[in-house]
Amino acid sequence: MRTGIKVLLAIGAAVSTLPRSPADIAPHSVDDDEDAQVQHHNIPQPASDADQEPPCPHAALSSDFLIVIRTGATEAPQKLPVHFRTTLTCISSYIIYSDLSETITGHPVHDVLAHISESTRSRVPDFTHWRHLREHGRAGLDDAILYGSGPAGALENPGWKLDKFKFLPMTRAALDYRPDAKWYVFLEPDTYLSAQNLATYLANFDAEKPHYIGKHMFLDDVLFAHGGSGFVLSRPAMQKLAAHYSSHEEDLDAITEKSWAGDGVLAKALQQVDINLFVAWPHFQGDAVASLDFNISKLDRRPWCYAPATWHHMRADEVQALWGFETEWREKHGVDAVLRHRDVFAGMIKPNLSVRKPDWDNLSTDTEYNIAKVAHKSFENCRAVCANRQECIQFSYSNGKCSVSANVKLGYPATSQCLEYSNAAGGCVRRAEVDANGGHGVSSGWMMERVQKRRKGTSGCYEWC
């Protein structure tokens, strides 16, 4: 049964209340016995049936939604194709904006920076990259520019520097493209969208009122929705924003030039027309499945019983695997059922945890020992340190360094160095080196009894709390 949205608490002057999520939308709740029956998916491997015809929920197919993907020439060919065969297959209306007009596997990509005023493009030095792209196309990109276009972006990538200028013209262009849509959903190409969960969540909002919904971050004193986690604007909000941008374009472009976050400037523009952010964490996630702590507490909320709408920093293989899992889960539980974080943990995380996982970094970074006592001398000693700390639930050992953590994360294969400032939301994955005995440099382990105890310590999800 659907109930109203409850008030949770206040966050500063930028937003008056933070709502709780609606109460239980689908009465079905997966218990521990059913968890064992879920087909397991290893995050790093593509799902075997991802190319099969997906069970598309009616709500996800609705023409009320326009999905808008913001990308760039330095990343689009690597990150977009997986979505054309997975997350976008159930979407009836979407458009892709970039800094270069091109076609990728038969899908048009539109240059949104062409909508920036000529005075701004002439004034801002970073637009040299955009002019170079227009003149030479993709052939003008070299390896030095392409490196760093990974899950978290790259500070020295010239396309990344221009990305902040896309937000405001993108919203206006999307409104022009689909003025009849009720909801405009803005994503990045490393964002995974659970369309049915999002559609079910948005059904609790009045689409005829101005809404701005997403995961919260701060830019100075401005509360804004993090672009990579995805955010949503209703049509009335889009109309007010587009009108405001058109009448204050030069001023807002100048603010964008001085800022580091285009999504933050977007929030400033929305605040100027009296539209504040509705905080929707943990439905909108800034983490990937493999780097998310499913038990983390923010705003008096834990992800466990919430229904995720998005994940961020998702590599193509992770998108493929999660799509395969969600497709199978909906085939079993019904296409309109509410998929919760706990279901993802049961099907994709827990089956891949073990007492020892060689050549793997589980992102244990709470405490590190490299000279203290004997923790750093071996994997077994590191495990003993974790066992003796009541709060420790996982650890990793890497050539003389022991790291422990009270959080459960899957992590990633530790097979390469980072080529950019962050390889995952949880931090840079350490390189697998070979030690003096020919062993791998990074191994991870979990205290499996404690993992199970923590899972059983969580209450049943009979409310979408």
- Tell me, what CATH number does 141's domain have? 3.90.550
Structure confidence at residue 141 (pLDDT): 82
Q: In what order do the strands lie in the sheet with 367-369?
A: 357-358, 442-446, 394-398, 402-405, 367-369
Structure confidence at residue 1 (pLDDT): 34
Highest-confidence range of 18-32, 163-177, 294-308, 435-449, by mean pLDDT?
A: 163-177
CA–chain centroid gap for 41, Å, is: 19
Candidate from 14-18, 68-72, 175-179, 233-237 with smallest mean pLDDT: 14-18
Q: For residues 121 and 2, give the distance between their C-alpha atoms in angstroms, rounded to a whole number.
A: 48
Q: Which of 279, 310, 336 is the last residue of a domain?
A: 279
Same domain, 373 and 240: no
Same domain, 141 and 272: yes
- Residue 432 structure tokens: 């697998």
- Closest C-alpha to 116, from 91, 135, 97: 97
Same domain, 34 and 173: yes
Structure confidence at residue 6 (pLDDT): 33
Same domain, 221 and 111: yes
Query: Residue 452 belongs to a domain with what CATH number?
Result: 3.50.4.10
Q: Which domain does 458 fall in, by range?
A: 355-465
The answer to whether residue 323 sits within a structural domain is no
Q: Which of 279, 309, 344 is the last residue of a domain?
A: 279
- Closest C-alpha to 415, from 322, 310, 323, 315: 315
Same domain, 399 and 254: no
- Residue 148 structure tokens: 């760093």
pLDDT digits (tens, 9 = 90+) for 348-402: 999 999 999 999 999 998 877 765 566 678 899 999 999 999 999 999 998 878 9
- Which alpha helices (DSSP H) does 192-335 contain, by range? 195-202, 235-247, 249-258, 262-272, 316-333
Q: Is the pLDDT of residue 464 over 60?
A: no
Structure confidence at residue 85 (pLDDT): 96
The answer to whether residue 173 sits within a structural domain is yes
Residue with tokens 């990793």: 396
The answer to whether residue 197 sits within a structural domain is yes
Same domain, 21 and 167: yes
Mapped onto helix, strand or coil, the DSSP state of residue 359 is coil
| Amino acid found at 356 | R
CA–chain centroid gap for 30, Å, is: 24
- Residue 322 structure tokens: 């999660």
Q: For residues 354 and 349, give the distance between their C-alpha atoms in angstroms, rounded to a whole number.
A: 11
Between 346 and 461, where is the model more confident? 346
- Residue 302 structure tokens: 């834990």
The answer to whether residue 339 sits within a structural domain is no
- Model pTM above 0.75: yes
Stretch 141-169: mean pLDDT, rounded?
Answer: 70
Average pLDDT of the chain?
Answer: 83
The answer to whether residue 346 sits within a structural domain is no
**DSSP class of residue 417?**
-
Please report, rounded to a whole number, the percentage of residues in the chain having pLDDT higher than 70: 75
Structure confidence at residue 358 (pLDDT): 92
| Four-CA torsion 423, 426, 428, 429, nearest 10 degrees | -90
| Amino acid found at 35 | D
Same domain, 131 and 219: yes
Residue with tokens 């038969």: 106
What DSSP assignment string belongs to 2-23?
--PPPEEEEETTTEEEEEPPPS
The answer to whether residue 291 sits within a structural domain is no
Structure confidence at residue 429 (pLDDT): 52
Angle at 320 between CA 319 and CA 321, to 5 degrees: 95
- Residue 344 structure tokens: 């993802």
Same domain, 75 and 183: yes
Q: Which of 279, 306, 326 is the last residue of a domain?
A: 279
| Amino acid found at 115 | H
Same domain, 233 and 373: no
Q: For residues 261 and 142, give the distance between their C-alpha atoms in angstroms, rounded to a whole number.
A: 26
Domain count, the chain: 2
CA Rg, the chain, in Å? Answer: 22
Q: Is the pLDDT of residue 459 over 70?
A: no
Q: Is the pLDDT of residue 268 over 60?
A: yes
| Amino acid found at 100 | L
Largest CA distance in the chain: 68
The answer to whether residue 35 sits within a structural domain is yes
In sequence order, the β-bridge partners of residue 213 are 232, 278
The answer to whether residue 187 sits within a structural domain is yes
**By the 8 A CB rule, do 151 and 314 touch?**
yes
Q: Is the pLDDT of residue 213 over 90?
A: yes
Q: Is the pLDDT of residue 449 over 50?
A: yes
Stretch 410-424: mean pLDDT, rounded?
Answer: 60
Same domain, 256 and 359: no
- Closest C-alpha to 408, from 444, 369, 441: 444
